[in-house]
Amino acid sequence: MVTVTQMKCACQSCVCIVSLEDAILKDGKHYCSEACANGHPDGAGCNHSGCECS
């Protein structure tokens, strides 16, 4: 049996891989940051290195 411990952030434009343990859970989806979980208010990105989501 394989247990998933990481997955891609649920934000469409985000390239981050997030640990399920550290993820922000919203509406049953896992996000890497509050910005992604809240739909990028004011165009704020997640600010993780190498990711330019918004």
pLDDT in tens, 21-47: 999 999 999 999 999 999 999 888 999
Instruction: Check residue 54 and give its pLDDT.
Output: 85
The mean per-residue pLDDT over the stretch 7-21 comes to 97
Q: Average pLDDT of the chain?
A: 95
Q: Which pLDDT belongs to residue 13?
A: 95
pLDDT greater than 90 at residue 16: yes
Alpha carbon distance 3, 13 (integer Å): 26
- Is pLDDT at 20 greater than 90 in this prediction? yes
Contacts 24+ apart (CB under 8 A), 41-47: 46/9, 46/11, 46/14, 46/16
